[in-house]
Amino acid sequence: MYERVPVMADRIPKSMRAAVCKAPGVPLEIVRLPMPEPDSDQVLVKVHACGVCRTDLHVADGELPEAVYPIIPGHQVVGRAVTLGANVRRLTAGDRVGIPWIGGCCGRCPACLRGEENLCDTPQLTGCNRNGGFADYVVAGAQFCLRLPDGYSDTAIAPLLCGGAIGYRALRMAGDAAAIGIYGFGSAAHLITQVALHQGRQVFAFTRAGDFTAQDFARQLGAEWVGDASMPPPRPLDAAIIFAPAGELVPAALAAIRKGGVVVCAGIHMTDIPSFAYRLLWGERQLRSVANLTRRDGEEFLALAPQIPIAATVETHSLEEVATAIGRLRNGSLNGSAVIVIDPR
């Protein structure tokens, strides 16, 4: 069990290491920065590990309009609460917490008033418009920190905080689909495949042409069928989830699903979708997107994970190796998830 481990305030250093993206397209640079201080509703977290997500790549490349620079990326953060703001009641110093993509919402816009915090007009996004977890310490909104289940190490649970949780939301949007296609077999896909199989669904995995490593990985996890994205599946699918940021996969996925099926675009960024014949959409097929995750998504998924149990395939890197981890994600050589280990323990 992960017990509460208090950290003495007088042991907190005056500065910290951080991997900073100073501008779009500029490689991340390891620098020393002054120690951040939490405000009354925030918590200072000592980072132990932080998962690497394709969204970090989009931030580094300047593909997200919400991003501000310079910025410390990283939004699958696992660590210990160190210093609490004056108004924080739900956490105690020493608690192990997870910090996800959504770091705050306004609570006033129409989406927030409808209870759709993931669609907030002015969200605080960890590692995008507020500093994230590729650092020794990070400040987070206490109300948006997630409690983590026992039984998972810091590196094992980090990928669940975005790839897993977003995949879970996307799978819910696929409804009760029995045969589900997954386009792009990376971090999120390998996690949500385990959920789908646990629920008794069949998984059909689509990868880039010639990516035999990813195809073998999908087979090992129990995929019913594996092929490249240009191939039709052996039977019409009930639904498809697209994790790869490639717009040309949308017409391909629509062609692969049955009438009344649904295609869920699960990424935050995608290249332009090419025009396609209306016939692909006709027949009451649906095309929808996933936009961020809610706290409820994270809580439900983290409660479900130990019951399956979900096991992330992880390769670890030090903070100084963050550029290597992002590079492996970019070129497709990463199998499963990458995690930056900040404070090994």
- Summarize pLDDT for 94-105 with one digit per residue, the tens: 999 999 999 999
Confidence check: pLDDT of 68 > 70: yes
Confidence check: pLDDT of 340 > 70: yes
Confidence check: pLDDT of 249 > 80: yes
* Residue 171 or 343, more confident: 171
Q: What pLDDT does 343 receive?
A: 81
Q: Which helix (H) or strand (E) holds 6?
A: none
Q: Where in the chain are the domains?
A: 9-162+294-341, 164-289
Average pLDDT over every residue of 244-253: 97
Confidence check: pLDDT of 290 > 90: yes
Peptide bond connecting 70 to the previous residue in cis, omega within 30 degrees of 0: yes
Q: How confident is the model at residue 9 (pLDDT cuts 50, 70, 90)?
A: low
- Summarize pLDDT for 183-221 with one digit per residue, the tens: 999 999 999 999 999 999 999 999 999 999 999 999 999
Question: What gap in Å lies between CA 338 and CA 345, rounded to an integer?
Answer: 17
- Average pLDDT value over all residues in the chain: 95
Confidence check: pLDDT of 289 > 60: yes
* Structure tokens belonging to residue 10: 């007088």
Which residue, 260, 210, 214, 207, is CA-closest to 233? 207
Question: What gap in Å lies between CA 239 and CA 228, rounded to an integer?
Answer: 17
Q: What pLDDT does 11 receive?
A: 81
* Residue 6 or 133, more confident: 133
Confidence check: pLDDT of 281 > 70: yes
Three-state SS at 284: coil
Confidence check: pLDDT of 8 > 60: no
Question: What gap in Å lies between CA 70 and CA 57, rounded to an integer?
Answer: 15
Three-state SS at 253: helix
Confidence check: pLDDT of 10 > 90: no
Q: What pLDDT does 254 receive?
A: 98
Average pLDDT over every residue of 283-308: 96
Average pLDDT over every residue of 334-339: 95
User: How is domain 9-162+294-341 classified at the CATH fold level?
Assistant: Quinone Oxidoreductase; Chain A, domain 1 (3.90.180)
The CATH-assigned architecture of domain 164-289 is: 3-Layer(aba) Sandwich (3.40)
